[in-house]
Amino acid sequence: MLGMRRFWPVTNKTLAVVAGIGFFQVLTIASSFSQSSNLRSLDELYKIRDRIVTQLEQPPSPSPEPTLLSRLVPFTASPQEQLLKQLQAVEIQILVEQRANDNLQQAVRLADQAVETGRVANQSIESAQQTQFLWQQALNNLQEIPQNSFLAPLTISKIQEYRENLTGAISELQQTKSDFLRTVARQSGLSAKASIGICRLSRECVHLRGNVPPVSPASLIKLPIAVALMNKVAKEQISLDKEVYVTPGNFTEDSSTKIQSKQNYPLKTLLEEMIDRSSNIATNQLIDYLGSDYINQFLENRGYEVTRVNFKLMGKKIMPANPGSGPNRVTVNELNEMMVQIYNGETPGAKFLVETLNRQYDRNIGFAALQGTEVQWLGEKTGENSLVLGTTVAMSIDGEAYIITVIDARSGSDIEMRNSIAKIADYISKNPSF
């Protein structure tokens, strides 16, 4: 022990060098050291360090007298200097292994906690979130272990195991959240076919049958048409003041729009009437202006796998000319993503679209559901025909924006839809970490 105490200044000096050269350089030196040896454990490193320390404590051999030849030959490190370099490499590798061991032990502790938390029957959203968090943190600790560590081979299999457990925890959390939406749907009087989706603008989403297309999107299909139009005018530098002739063939019944056939209207007016007043005539003319192929290619390019515009809209009796072929399609999840992109400013003309959604004339569903509450209504697009009723709503709760989309078979009235939105908004207000 006396010899070790005498040598502490040498060891401290080595550790100071380690701290000074930076961790990435430490890993490089350590990797070089471990590759040039067959070491397999931290104990072996400790023994090598002790042996080098003992050798360094021995009196150095006297240096030979310099000769003319030695002056001409390049300088080579003395045995003492070589031992110091070896000691530095050993100390660095010890540091790597200690950190790796700490990360592994912490990962195992977190995994044990995750297992215990996940065993709780009928998990709440909070406990399911905690389970997911613990698995994620355990995985993060494993990924901090460098590849040149002795523990790397063990880490590879554990990373795969923890990833699978994390995936299961995420699925469990989604299921728990879906149970909440199932309760909302039942208590609100929605049918068993109702689809509901909620998203933060950060894209933390939860849904109930959100990937299932409704039998018809009704006027909700007008939102993707508006997004496609704004993309075209931005990309091709077309003015929204450009006038477009509304052909007689695009006429159908409209309840509250000012758009008439055989007249010219600016693109801006057609878009506003399509969203604000849900004009079918304006929609049909914009489908002709853009072309279904253009709209659908744009949607595909943006990653929308289901949403497609294949057929023009009609009123109760009058079918427009050249209506198209095949059904229009949307899903709650893709509508939510579209609204998230709009309110995040991620799509061309987002500011104009936000303003347009904020002016929607029909305020019998989302707007009415939130009226009188502390939740701020930001904008909405509704859709309704003889088959379905639906709406996609933007709202702000305690300063954070959310998108809620609800679509149901047309079996009841607006009351059930309003009830569902009000219940969801109330739940989020009371459970901000939903």
User: pLDDT per residue over 293-308, tens digit each?
Assistant: 999 999 999 999 999 9
So what's the pLDDT on residue 264? Answer: 98
| Percent of all residues in the chain with a pLDDT value above 70, rounded to a whole number | 86
Looking at the predicted structure, is the pLDDT value of residue 5 above 50?
Answer: no
Q: What is the pLDDT of residues 110-131, one digit of tens each?
A: 999 999 998 887 778 889 999 9
- Which residue do the tokens 């989403």 mark? 205
pLDDT band at 412 (very low <50, low <70, confident <90, very high): low
Instruction: Find, among 353, 338, 355, 414, the residue nearest to 382 by Cα.
Output: 414
Looking at the predicted structure, is the pLDDT value of residue 225 above 60?
Answer: yes
How much helix, strand and coil, in percent to the nearest 5, is found in the chain? 55, 10, 30
Q: Which fold has domain 184-215+331-434?
A: Beta-lactamase (3.40.710)
**Half-sphere exposure (Cβ direction) of 98: Cα atoms closer than 13 Å:** 8
Query: How is the beta sheet containing 400-409 ordered, strand by strand?
Result: 205-208, 195-200, 400-409, 388-397, 376-384
So what's the pLDDT on residue 82? Answer: 83
Looking at the predicted structure, is the pLDDT value of residue 18 above 80?
Answer: no
Q: What is the rounded distance in angstroms from the CA atom of residue 386 to the CA atom of residue 250?
A: 21
34-38, 83-87, 206-210, 352-356, range with the lowest pLDDT:
34-38
pLDDT band at 79 (very low <50, low <70, confident <90, very high): confident
38-52, 264-278, 396-410, range with the lowest pLDDT:
38-52
pLDDT band at 93 (very low <50, low <70, confident <90, very high): confident
Q: Per-domain residue ranges for the chain? A: 1-57+81-119, 184-215+331-434, 218-329
Q: What is the largest CA-CA distance in the chain?
A: 113
**CATH entry, 218-329, from 2.60.120.200, 3.30.1300.30, 3.40.710.10, 3.40.50.300:** 3.40.710.10
pTM as predicted: 0.74
| Mean pLDDT taken over the chain | 87
Looking at the predicted structure, is the pLDDT value of residue 430 above 50?
Answer: yes
Looking at the predicted structure, is the pLDDT value of residue 398 above 90?
Answer: yes
Comparing 263 with 64, the larger pLDDT belongs to 263
So what's the pLDDT on residue 189? Answer: 95
Q: How many CB atoms lie within 10 A of CB 6?
A: 11
- Do the two domains 184-215+331-434 and 218-329 of this chain adopt the same fold? yes
Q: What is the rounded distance in angstroms from the CA atom of residue 128 to the CA atom of residue 131?
A: 5
Q: What is the rounded distance in angstroms from the CA atom of residue 111 to the CA atom of residue 139?
A: 9
With left for phi above 0 and alpha for psi between -120 and 50, is residue 343 left, alpha or beta?
alpha
Radius of gyration of the chain (CA): 34
Looking at the predicted structure, is the pLDDT value of residue 27 above 70?
Answer: no
